[in-house]
Amino acid sequence: MAKKIFSCVACGKQPLTKNEVSINKKLLGMTSKNFYCIECLAIFLEVAPQDILDKIEDFKNDGCKLFE
């Protein structure tokens, strides 16, 4: 089965990492079809990119299987 390649809807960066796709699902909703890279997601949510990375670490520490 071909692996789906996701690209950032704002800047076009691709491929997005598994963690990038997963944090989009966590923060924007599982049904979201628009995915952003870390930097564009930070701009969209008006937070610092590091805040997004911290959130990924939080989810990982919680044992969330969406993150690696």
The footprint of Zn ion (CB under 5 A) covers 8, 10-11, 13, 37, 40
Nearest approach, Cβ of 61 to Zn ion (angstroms)? 25
Nearest approach, Cβ of 49 to Zn ion (angstroms)? 11
For 50, the enclosing helix (H) or strand (E) is helix 49-61
C-alpha span between 18 and 22 (Å, rounded): 6
Query: Can you read off the two tokens belonging to residue 57?
Result: 């670490």
- Report the residue number, 12 or 29, with the smaller CB distance to Zn ion: 12
Nearest approach, Cβ of 5 to Zn ion (angstroms)? 14
Asked if residues 51 and 63 have their Cβ atoms less than 8 Å apart, the reply is no
